[in-house]
Amino acid sequence: MPAEPSVRIPIPIENVFGVLADGWLYALWVVGATHIRKVDSGWPAVGTRIHHSVGGWPLARSDTTTVSAVDPPHHLELEARLWPAGAAHISLDLVALGPDSTEVRMAERISQGPGRLLPGMVQDLALISRNRESLQRLAALATGRSPTGAD
């Protein structure tokens, strides 16, 4: 079982999921994503993709992230690619802690490429800090966009 960093966000679950459901915001909260080129119509329906870049110029690489499962506003699973490095399976679980509070848990596993050969504990060490930061960015973005968010 992958390490699952989490964050509590003082806004309703629907508002948090609303940030995830806006593919154009992906690069604002996902560490490493730097530019969104296109978001498929219907995002985040299963099979839709975000066409993005990862990394900074001049080393940025173009690739995609695809929705593999969704249960709004409680769950979103993504396959994030970055060839030739591989791909990762990402799971985001949202739990309403009350009418104005949401916990978001994030789990990630390298699913393709050379990194998938790394043991789970090594993957966790490599990914957990990045995922914690992504969740903190998601929390700030969701709170700032919410009419009920904290100041």
Would you list the DSSP string of 7-44? EEESS-HHHHHHHHT-GGGHHHHSTTEEEEEEE-TTTT
Q: What is the CATH number of the domain that holds 124?
A: 3.30.530.20
Asked, as a colleague might, if the bond just before 84 is cis with ω within 30 of 0, I would say yes
Q: Is residue 29 part of a domain?
A: yes
Q: Is residue 151 part of a domain?
A: no
pLDDT tens digit string along 75-90? 999 999 876 678 889 9
Q: Is residue 11 part of a domain?
A: yes
Q: Is residue 20 part of a domain?
A: yes
What is the pTM assigned to this prediction? 0.88
Greater model confidence, 68 or 34: 68
**Total structural domains within the chain:** 1
pLDDT tens digit string along 65-123? 999 999 999 999 999 987 667 888 999 999 999 999 999 999 987 778 766 666 667 66
Q: Is residue 150 part of a domain?
A: no
User: Which structural domain, as residue segments, surrounds residue 83?
Assistant: 6-145
